[in-house]
């Protein structure tokens, strides 16, 4: 049973590493960014509401995300565990998740924080060529990250739950470091 929360700035490689580990440990990869992008593409009610926030590099409002996560974590495939990527992204989402997991009588095993310096992130994001990856949006996403998401790191470190991993390393190097922590127990 592995329940993992991935934290880290945009461009840290959370999605890439989450996919690799999801395959390795055979647990679902739950990416709120992927869920939202699929909703935008399919022009669902959620997608239509989320789109402008995403294009501007802002977080979408919590009321669009919280029910979605609750529903996703209640599906049967999550019994073996999961990797959360892109959630929680602010302290109110983190508090919501704590409460939800208590209700489900679960606790996350590890909160893994991928650390990468800002100047490297901008380079990586510009190279990625996603629709919301232009320089202005990228700078805004990094600002929002520092303002809203960095406090989530303290939320978990205050509770003694955080494990930091250097994300400024080769893809394989990062995977190895993550596995070493996850396999500890
Ligand atoms: P990145 O790869 O840059 O970290 P994601 O794919 O995780 O980005 O998310 C893309 C966009 O989706 C974010 O910029 C934000 O607008 C929205 N988003 C994703 N997850 C959340 C969340 N938990 N709360 C609010 N907005 C979110």
Return the minimum-mean-pLDDT range out of 3-7, 120-124, 169-173.
120-124
Residue 54 near ligand 1, beta carbon < 6 Å = yes
Residue of 14, 37, 124, 163 marked active site: 14
Token pair recorded at residue 80: 């073996």
CA distance 3 to 106: 9
CA distance 80 to 106: 12
CA distance 25 to 174: 16
Can you give the pLDDT at residue 133? Answer: 85
Can you give the pLDDT at residue 20? Answer: 97
CA distance 92 to 109: 20
Q: Which residue has the higher pLDDT, 185 or 90?
A: 90
27-33 average pLDDT score: 97
DSSP 3-state assignment of 59?
Answer: coil
Residue of 2, 37, 51, 141 marked active site: 141
Can you give the pLDDT at residue 129? Answer: 82
Can you give the pLDDT at residue 54? Answer: 96
The answer to whether residue 185 scores a pLDDT higher than 80 is: no
Annotated catalytic, 80? no
Contacts of 28 (CB under 8 A, 6+ apart): 22, 77, 78, 82, 83
- Could you report the per-residue pLDDT of 100-154, keeping only the tens digit for each? 999 998 888 899 999 999 889 989 999 988 888 888 999 999 999 999 999 999 9
Annotated catalytic, 128? yes
- Could you report the per-residue pLDDT of 44-81, keeping only the tens digit for each? 999 999 999 999 999 999 999 999 999 999 999 999 99
Please answer whether residues 21 and 80 qualify as being in contact, where contact means their C-beta atoms are separated by less than 8 angstroms: no
Query: Residue 18 C-alpha to ligand 1 middle, in angstroms?
Result: 15
Query: Residue 33 C-alpha to ligand 1 middle, in angstroms?
Result: 5
Hey, what domains does the chain have and what are their CATH numbers? 2-178 (3.40.50.300)
Q: State CA 12 to chain mean position distance.
A: 10
């Amino acid at each position: 049973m592995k329940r993992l929360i991935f934290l880290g700035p945009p461009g840290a490689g959370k999605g890439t590493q989450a996919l690799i580990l999801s395959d390795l440990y055979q647990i679902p990869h739950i990416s709120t960014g992927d869920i939202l992008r699929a909703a935008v593409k399919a022009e669902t009610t959620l997608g239509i509401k989320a789109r402008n926030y995403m294009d501007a590099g802002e977080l979408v409002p919590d009321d669009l995300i919280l029910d979605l996560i609750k529903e996703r974590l209640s599906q049967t495939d999550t019994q073996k565990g999961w990797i959360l990527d892109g959630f929680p992204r602010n302290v109110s989402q983190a508090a919501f998740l704590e409460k939800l997991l208590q209700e489900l009588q679960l606790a996350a095993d590890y909160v893994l924080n991928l650390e990468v310096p800002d100047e490297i992130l901008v380079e990586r994001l510009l190279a990625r060529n996603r629709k919301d990856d232009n320089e202005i949006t990228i700078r805004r996403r990094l600002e929002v990250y520092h303002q809203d998401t960095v406090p989530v790191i303290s939320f978990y470190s205050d509770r003694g739950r955080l494990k930091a991993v250097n994300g400024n390393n080769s893809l394989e190097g990062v995977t190895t470091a993550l596995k070493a922590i996850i396999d500890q127990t």
